[in-house]
Amino acid sequence: MTSEREQVLHSWCVQADWDAPTIVGGEGARFRDDRGREYLDMSSLAECMNLGHQHPALIQAIQEQAGKLCFTTAAWGAGPRAELAARLLEKSGFEGGRVFFTLGGADANEHAVKFARLALGHPRGTIVTRHRSYHGATYAAMALSGDSRTLAQVDPTRHGVVHVPPPYAYRCPFGTPTEEACAQAAVHSVGAALDAHPDAAAVLMEPDAGTNGIVAPEAFWPGLRAEARRRGVYLIADEVMSGFGRCGEWFAWQRHGEAGRPDLMTLAKGLTGAHIPLGAVVLSAEVAKKVEHQMLYTGLTYCGHPLACAAGVAAIQAYEDEGLIERSRSLGAAMFQELQALKERHPVIGDVRGGHGLFAVIELVRDRATREALSAWPSLHPALQRLVEEAREGGVSFAVRGNLILLAPPLVITEAELGRALALLDRLLANGTWA
């Protein structure tokens, strides 16, 4: 057997350090490796397996579509593409809008910026994003991101991007004493950035979930919407991770109702439950109307690939049939309550954030009183690395980054499975050496 370790470049790691088992299958919230070991997936792998592993309805849809039509370009129509666009406009309430399909989240974010600039007539208009955000790893998406992993590789100003501080209430960059004050200060900073750049075309931010571990206070997103609208710029919601039930709604912005409605939103991950790569940009009717009669100078060979779109249609049907959006909301609330109990038992837990769906962040600290970080962001403390390794030995896969444990299990996880994973986490936190 050939060795993947020697022949494949693996993302987000030092190649010489990569040495992982091969995944060979899975069902529901579990996956298996080639050594015969089974793991309970507490991160949906890359926060994308919302429907779990090997969902039978998606597999059937892909197989049936493959028997009819595997590919056609965007110059021709395709039934699954039209059907999926209609379902996305319906679920988002963007009637009269349009959908542009991409291959994933990074190119969805890049195209959302293109469309915002095109609609406003600012071909190089400034885009305001935030520090400690992540929007993809292509060069333009890295510029949009405020991520420590990407900023060393690209100059955001060359892409017309300006970063503002995040609404990180636990460590508020504005020095405010409350979550509400932090939200107000963060919104004000966006407004100041827009005022400083009269050519601004859009604000691009994540409404909720993200691997940066920052969950904005409730007042932030509606305030951001109002600030963008007041200045006549578009608000782009990066729902790549937060969409499709992850945060208890079809899309995280919907928690705020009309007060949180963006002008464009970007999708991927849960769009097909990761069974086939697919991304999308959903444009409001207003934005779609402005680009309707302009030449669209962009294209992707696999834009709206029939196999991927068939999987997307099946995914939306599965979310509906199994009540997974509502389930994420209720089971996520129970998970969050248990995490709060863990915080009471373990002084190493400084903060627990989330609770809107099956997504939560645990931030670890050296000292809860001073909020001293366990290690400098984004370095991983050895004790946290040991926790991940010991959890795998116990049959559970957790995702961590820096001082954070990121919980985003598949929406199909059972209560018993979730309880088992959290009980193991409880034991590992108790046994860890956190000095």
Determine which of 3-12, 60-69, 342-351, 396-405 has the lowest per-residue pLDDT on average.
Answer: 3-12
Buried-exposed string 60-81: b where 16+ CB fall within 10 A, e elsewhere: ebbeebeeeeeeeebeeebebb
CA distance 44 to 54: 12
| Stated pTM of the model | 0.97
List 352's β-bridge partners, or say none. Answer: 362
On whether the CB atoms of residues 399 and 49 are closer than 8 A, the answer is no
The phi and psi torsions of 405 (rounded to 5 degrees) equal: -110, 120
Region 390-401 average pLDDT: 97
The secondary structure of the chain, three-state, reads CCCHHHHCCCCCCCHHHCCCCCEEEEEECEEEECCCCEEEECCHHHHCCCCCECCHHHHHHHHHHHHHCCCCCCCCCCHHHHHHHHHHHHHHCCCCCEEEEECCHHHHHHHHHHHHHHHHCCCCCCEEEECCCCCCCCHHHHHHCCCCCCHHHCCHHHHCEEEECCCCHHHCCCCCCCHHHHHHHHHHHHHHHHHHCCCCCEEEECCCCCCCCCCCCCCHHHHHHHHHHHCCCEEEEECCCCCCCCCCCCCHHHHHHHHHCCCEEEECHHHCCCCCCCEEEEECHHHHHHHCCCCCCCCCCCCCCHHHHHHHHHHHHHHHHCCHHHHHHHHHHHHHHHHHHHHHHCCCEEEEEEEEECEEEEEEEEECCCCEECCCCCCCCHHHHHHHHHHHHCCEECEEECCEEEECCCCCCCHHHHHHHHHHHHHHHHHCCCC
The pLDDT of residue 433: 84
The pLDDT of residue 150: 83
Structure confidence at residue 434 as a pLDDT band (50, 70, 90): confident
Other CB atoms within 10 Å distance of the CB of residue 155: 11
Q: What is the percentage of the chain residues whose pLDDT exceeds 70?
A: 99
The pLDDT of residue 1: 55
Region 277-283 average pLDDT: 98
Region 37-56 average pLDDT: 97
213 pLDDT higher than 80: yes
Q: In the chain, what are the domain boundaries?
A: 4-54+323-431, 58-321
pLDDT in tens, 347-395: 999 999 998 999 999 999 999 999 999 999 889 999 999 999 999 999 9
137, two tokens? 């790893």
CA distance 279 to 106: 8
On whether the CB atoms of residues 215 and 205 are closer than 8 A, the answer is no
Region 401-420 average pLDDT: 97
pLDDT in tens, 141-198: 999 999 988 888 999 999 999 999 999 999 999 999 999 999 999 999 999 999 999 9
Omega of the bond leading into 378 within 30 degrees of 0 (cis): yes
Q: What is the percentage of the chain residues whose pLDDT exceeds 90?
A: 93
Structure confidence at residue 239 as a pLDDT band (50, 70, 90): very high
The pLDDT of residue 2: 66
- State the Cα angle at 188 between 251 and 139, rounded to 5°: 60
List 378's β-bridge partners, or say none. Answer: none
Name residues whose C-beta falls within 8 Å of residue 203's C-beta, 6 or more positions apart in sequence. Answer: 127, 128, 129, 190, 194, 224, 227, 228, 233, 234, 235, 236
CA distance 271 to 309: 9
Residue among 73, 88, 123 at smallest CA distance from 250: 88
Question: Residue 220 CA to chain centroid, in angstroms?
Answer: 18
pLDDT in tens, 317-335: 999 999 999 999 999 999 9
Name residues whose C-beta falls within 8 Å of residue 193's C-beta, 6 or more positions apart in sequence. Answer: 128, 162, 164, 200
The pLDDT of residue 93: 97
Q: Does domain 4-54+323-431 have CATH number 3.90.1150.10?
A: yes
Q: What architecture (CATH level 2) is domain 58-321?
A: 3-Layer(aba) Sandwich (3.40)
Structure confidence at residue 210 as a pLDDT band (50, 70, 90): confident
On whether the CB atoms of residues 54 and 24 are closer than 8 A, the answer is no
